[in-house]
Every structure is written in structure tokens, then in C-alpha cells.
Structure 1
């Protein structure tokens, strides 16, 4: 695992790997993809990046550590979530899932009302699984994928690795780095607010949804950032993911489809240090909030963009989610072959989402460090497809003898009071002796806070 982490750290920083302790093995989760190694590397990279910010403050970070068992729990954190001891509502919509077309499998992602409506409209069916299955069975997987995507929905047919590598989007994604950090403007060197935490006093404006972006914001909050998650009151949310990823953040609403809302967003950006967003590439730029425009509002800003399929290629603006990227890129097809089944077999976790979130947090903290040491405004980009390509490049492991259901994770969860009730959650992962990461409070109800910056406190 040391070599995996060293490669990530070199990509992010151009530096050699500092002292780090990586413990545990890769026999925890089923399948042959090295999910544990990738997750532990992402967690270690984020914790190392936090440690380097401590060094800037004159604080010895100590030897950073990450453990594969904790990493395996962290990339499945939503599976451990309980509300007052009970399972939360399932994040999956009633017609979401895998369907067998006339020539292969296709996944329909219909967890949001507008995506469910796109499936129903494009296929001419009611929102009933049997009706969807019957209609899909009479079409090719490519016809279903094209129809749903054209209607504004989200779908992906099952492709092999070779098919993905030959696909124009697969080729485009292969040409992109795991994480891109680039300076996009000049600005004086930033100054860190006096704090004993890596990101103490750093304001992070989070404009994200679903999982990868919120995970990144959750990591930044655990290292002391003042994270304000901004959403819209009229948009639907997935309660389980909101509860699981909201720790340490405040939550406010801003209507970006109004002139007043966009004016408020400009004020928030002008006083932010980081803007983290997971809109589709180009979506914010079309309403005047591209990285360069935001850097003009706040010179020295770090902007971070997360996408599904990457920021280049014919699918750059396509709606995508972890499960769809696994279908499209060959991961679910290889999983099926290894398992000896004809059904798509994904990774044993939403590992692309979670690992991308940890890597994004690492990249953001590295960029924040550069604004202090070098100055300038910086732009960070990552994608689920890029993380999937990197995971594929790590080789394979022997399938786990046990399953995640037989591994004891009980010491890695805790109960906390929240606006939703008593939440059971996975503890924050990553060992940083100089300033152990922790959340100052549990998840807030969506929109419970004013969309304003609070005064900085140490």
C-alpha cells in the first residue's frame, strides 16, 4: 500500500512521501479490486495534507496513520448509519436498478423524482418495476441508455473494460490525471488564521449533492474548516446521505435560479477560502460562476470541481453517479465474471464516490497550502471515472475469504445526538497525532442555518 500512497502523494504535491503508518490487510471486502488499499491511500493522503497545514502553523503533526479496516468502514459509512437505532429510508428509488435488455444489462438511476420521470417518459411506462422491465427487455441496452439520457435522466449499459477503453469517453478519461491542481490567477499569499487545527478559520462553501462532494466537505470539517453547505429549498434530497455526510457542517438555502440568490452567492464567495462544487462541468459557469469568475470575486480562492465522467470528452456534461460509472467502465462486468454470475456485480461499496471525496479533500488542502506558500488562485478537478481508472491500475487482490458482514467494525462506530435524532455513524478515519480530526457537531437539518458566514473563532 505504501507504493499506492506514494503515487497519489506525488500526483497531488510533486513531493516525496512523508513518514506514514499504514496498517491492516486487504482481506476485508469481497471482490478482487483493491478497494481497501485505494480507500486507505485516500484517507492517508487527506490526513497527510492536513498534517502539512499543521507544519505551516508550527505544529508537529506526528506520524500520520491510516488503517484498512477503518478505511473499509469509511467507504461504506452510509451502511452503518442508524437513526434512533433504526435503518434510515433506503436511498434507492422504487424503479432504480439493473434491467436486462434484449442484448445485455442496463442500470437506471432513478433516485430523484426528475430522474424517475425521465425514465418513465422516455420509455413510455408508469413508475412500476414490472412495466419498466417489460419495456427494457424489448429494447437493446444502448437504446435504453440513449433514450433515458436524452430525456435528462441517468443510465448506463454494462460495458467491459475493453469496451470502455475503446469508447470516446473512456479514451478522454484515460488522458486526464487522477487529480488536477492548477493555478488560475495571481493573488497575494494567504495567511492562515491562528488555530491549533489544520483548517481552523478556513471557510469552505460547499455546493454539492449525493456523495463524493459531501464526503470531501465532511473531511474538511473534521480538520477544522468552517463548512457551509448551500442547497436549494425546492430540490429533493436523499435523507440517509444527508444525515451521513453532514457532520461538522452548517446547512443553508440559496436559490441560484433567482437574481437575489445569485447576488447572495457572490457575497458568500467573496469571503470564502474554498468553493467545493459537484454540479455537472460547465453548469455553474453558465450562470456566471466559473472558476475564473469566482477567483475574481475572491483572489486567492481555491475552487474544486467534482464530476462523474471527467471534464473532457463527449460525456463531460452527462449526469453520472458511482453505480453508473462502475457499469460503464467495466468494473461491474469484471465483478460479474469473477463472481461467476451473469448479473452486474459492483464493488462492495460506493468506493468511487467515497475515495474521490477523500482524494478531493487532500487536493483541496494541498491547494490551500499553496495559496499560503506561493499565493495565487487555484483550481482542483477530480472525477469518479478518474478514480475508477486509478483503482483499475492498482492490480487485483485475492478475493476475501470472509465478507464485510463477518468483519467486526463495532469499535469504529459511535452514537451522537443530532437534529434528526440519535445517529449511529462511523468515526472519523485517519490518525493525526498533532490534531486529531473530529466533528464539532452532528449533521444539521437541511436549511437549518442562515446562509451567511459566522465570525471566525479558534
Structure 2
């Protein structure tokens, strides 16, 4: 698999005009990072889909056509944007809690613990009955069989994954549920009048498009960031009580305003519904059903705002026994056989993840792509729409590309290798240096119109 057929698959699956594919150019080939998986193809294709969808949005608005170019090296820099973030030319950001990582179990298996949020760390330590120390955690994990610990932590609402082979994953009911789903879904969920794509002048593809972004960490925030870089007004809604990872707030907050609401309160939900009534896109990355339980599901929003484009991002998909399981990119890699395959190829003693959070970033770009396609459909035929993507579905697609057995031998890419992919901006955090948008549009270059802001820096209202 190379970027061209991968993009064609995305474009045709979404029912878009195949003639538009002639305006896209690619450069680069796998392996461009040390991995047996074709992560460069995944990055190039999903970013190109987003860029081409933006170009089509502009064409729908004023008839202008433009070319889209994606260089694999730049696409992979975007897929590692959190790794290359720098503040005031300081050190690389700390993204992981020390306890997060792989551990061997009593029965000779491996399990990954994910403890980057304080309450997840506290819960894992409580289950294990040990101190907050990696050595103590390793000793405690060795007292458990892997599958038992995996299920115990999942039942407690915590974040972990047993390292499985691809065949072990395929035998699970959750994998079978994912296999029945397409890579992504763009579903009409209600009737609504035809609406123009955006408000005011079409100087950028998404100028005048309003996006509510209810997401944290990487996949959902990348989707909101991708919409912002093509001109959408993105309002990030966070909860003051919810944990965040500071470098990700900065990296994925570029181009957005940030407000806080407490959705546990009636007043907070009413304020959000008021904002949604004037929004075009409602982007959320809560576990399936969590917002619907608070009256904020797709059908609720379609009633409040006929014509809404509701985008749902999840870890393990919206169907199957794991639909409600908490998950992150690295956990999906561990559960689905990706970490096992990387380890086997490289001959490592312990499991090995992809060289970037590829499932997160690709899923984020797919979410943004789906949102733009749905906005185009609303402009042509009206209706309310629901876009559904998940890390597990994206991971299955990556695995379908096949492997490059010696791909893990490719050279790694340091920040010095991608200096030309970075741009700096002054912010309340200091001088922020981050990866620029990778898709190059000939008429409306993608860029961030706002610097990143702290959580809750703005009022919960539209400009």
C-alpha cells in the first residue's frame, strides 16, 4: 500500500467526486520512520484526505480549485507534533507518567499500564496494592496472571492492555465487532434545510464554520486543530475538574479558543446546548454513550440544532463488548497485536510501540475529513449528520497495509531533521515552536490563526 491508493480508498469510501483526486500530489515512501508498519502511508493519506476535503469546501463556496501536496516527511512530523513541541527553546516536553509502560506477568505475558492521569495512577496502585514506584509496580504485576489483571483493571474503569498477538486479538468479540464496521461512518441522522458552507467571505475553506471541540489528549484535539488550520472558529470546551496533559494542551490548542463548562451541572449543559445551537460541528471524544446519558447525544443535538455535524471519536469503536472500555492509542496498539508485531520484527525483549501516536493522529485527521465531507453534504442536500471514527478501526486499516519486515531498521528522525517543518508563535506559555500543517494547498495555505491558550482562557461564547 502506498499513499495514492490509500487516499483513493478514503475518498471513494466517503462518496466524494473521484475527479478531485487528480489535484493531489505525494512525495516520499515508507519506511520513513523505524517501523515495520507503513505509518508514512497512513500519515500521508489521512492528511491528504483532510487537505483535499478543505480544497473541496472552498470549491463549493466560490468555485476556486487548488492543488494539494503532501510530503511524507512533513506528514510524519505532524504525526509526531507533540514530540517536537518546544517552549522557549527548552527541553522536550514530559508526556508520560513514570509508571506508564510494559510489565511482565506471572504467566510470562506482558501488560501495558497507562497512568498518565492522576486518578488512573491512583486506581492502578490501589488494585496492585503497591507504592508509586516503578520497581514496586513491576513486583506487584509479577504476582498476577496477565489476562486476569487486564480484566480486573478494565472492570475498575482503569487503563491497561494485555499484549496480544494479532491472532489473539482477531479471536476476541471486540475485534469481530470492529471487523463488521467500515473504517469510518458518515451517517444522515435527521432532516434539515440546505445550508451554505460557512458564514461570510470564503477567504479560507472553513471561514465562518463554528466547531465545538469537547475532547482531550490527541485524536479529538487533532481533529479540531485540523479544522482550525483551514479557518474554522474552534471553541474548545473543557471541564475545570478534568485532568489534562500540559504539552498536549499547547500543541493541540493552536488555532483554538478555550473555555470551561461543568457538564455535570444543569447550567453547564444548558450553556453548551446554547453554543451548539449556533455551531456547525459538535466534536466529542467521550466514551460511547457518555454524553447521550447527559442529553448531549447525536439525536439530542440534531433536535437542538437541525443541520448539526456530530463527530464521535472513540478508542475501541461504538459497537462490541469493549465499546465502553477506556483506551488510548498505545493501549490499542498493545491489545490489537501491533506492539507484538513490532517486537517480533525488531527482536526486542519487551513489546514495542509504533514510533509515533499514529492511531491517534490518523483518527483525528479522519474525523476532520468526515466533518468536512458532512458539511459539504449539508450544503448540497441538507440534513443532520453523524461521523464516527475510532482508534481500533484506524489500527485495523493500518494492519491491512501489510508490513515491511526490515522497516524497523530505518533511521529515526530528530527535531534537527525537521526544523524546516516548525513554526514559532508567542503565547501566554512563552515562545511556542510547533509543527506546521503538513498539507500544502496552492490557494489557501493552512495556518493557525491563534496561539495556544490555557484551559479556560476565554468565555464560553462565539466571537
> Is residue 129 from structure 1 mapped to residue 138 from structure 2 by the alignment?
no
Equivalent of residue 25 in structure 1, options 22, 29, 33:
29
Equivalent of residue 378 in structure 2, options 371, 393, 396:
371
Evaluate the alpha carbon distance shift between residue 345 and residue 215 of structure 1 in structure 2; reply closer, same or farther with a 3 A threshold: same
Answer with 379-388 or 89-98: which moved more. Answer: 89-98
Q: Distance in 2 between matches of 1:278 and 1:237?
A: 14
Equivalent of residue 271 in structure 1, options 258, 278, 297:
278
Say if 1:281 and 1:316, in contact at 8 Å, map to a contact too.
yes
Q: Distance in 1 between matches of 2:410 and 2:167?
A: 28
Aligned match of 2:252: 245
Q: Deviations over 1:75-131 (max 9, x none)?
A: 000111011111354121131111111221101110001111110111122222122
Aligned match of 1:39: 43
Superposed displacement of residue 27, structure 1:
3.2
Equivalent of residue 431 in structure 2, options 422, 431, 439:
422
Q: Distance in 2 between matches of 1:405 and 1:65?
A: 23
Aligned match of 1:190: 195
> Is residue 217 from structure 1 mapped to residue 221 from structure 2 by the alignment?
no
Evaluate the alpha carbon distance shift between residue 212 and residue 340 of structure 1 in structure 2; reply closer, same or farther with a 3 A threshold: same
Say if 2:218 and 2:360, in contact at 8 Å, map to a contact too.
yes
Aligned match of 1:7: 9
Aligned match of 2:147: 142
Q: Distance in 2 between matches of 1:213 and 1:292?
A: 20
Say if 1:100 and 1:136, in contact at 8 Å, map to a contact too.
yes
Superposed displacement of residue 152, structure 1:
1.7
Aligned match of 1:92: 96
Say if 2:112 and 2:160, in contact at 8 Å, map to a contact too.
yes
DSSP-derived class of the 1:337 partner: helix
Q: Distance in 1 between matches of 2:415 and 2:383?
A: 49
Equivalent of residue 383 in structure 1, options 379, 384, 390:
390
Aligned match of 1:115: 120
Q: Distance in 2 between matches of 1:360 and 1:383?
A: 9
Q: Distance in 1 between matches of 2:193 and 2:91?
A: 49
Say if 1:81 and 1:87, in contact at 8 Å, map to a contact too.
no
Say if 1:5 and 1:44, in contact at 8 Å, map to a contact too.
yes
Say if 1:88 and 1:240, in contact at 8 Å, map to a contact too.
no
Aligned match of 2:454: 445
Superposed displacement of residue 307, structure 1:
0.3
Unaligned runs of 5+ in 2: none
Q: How large is the RMSD of aligned CA atoms in angstroms?
A: 1.3
Evaluate the alpha carbon distance shift between residue 218 and residue 114 of structure 1 in structure 2; reply closer, same or farther with a 3 A threshold: same
> Is residue 355 from structure 1 mapped to residue 358 from structure 2 by the alignment?
no
Unaligned runs of 5+ in 1: none
Aligned match of 1:436: 445
Q: Distance in 2 between matches of 1:452 and 1:312?
A: 34
DSSP-derived class of the 2:454 partner: coil
Equivalent of residue 80 in structure 1, options 81, 84, 108:
84
Aligned match of 2:184: 179
Q: Distance in 2 between matches of 1:89 and 1:100?
A: 28
Answer with 54-63 or 221-230: which moved more. Answer: 54-63
Aligned match of 2:316: 309
DSSP-derived class of the 2:417 partner: coil
Superposed displacement of residue 154, structure 1:
0.5
Number of aligned positions between the proteins: 454
Superposed displacement of residue 441, structure 1:
1.5
Aligned match of 1:201: 208
Equivalent of residue 62 in structure 1, options 55, 63, 66:
66
Superposed displacement of residue 406, structure 1:
8.9
Q: Distance in 2 between matches of 1:287 and 1:414?
A: 40
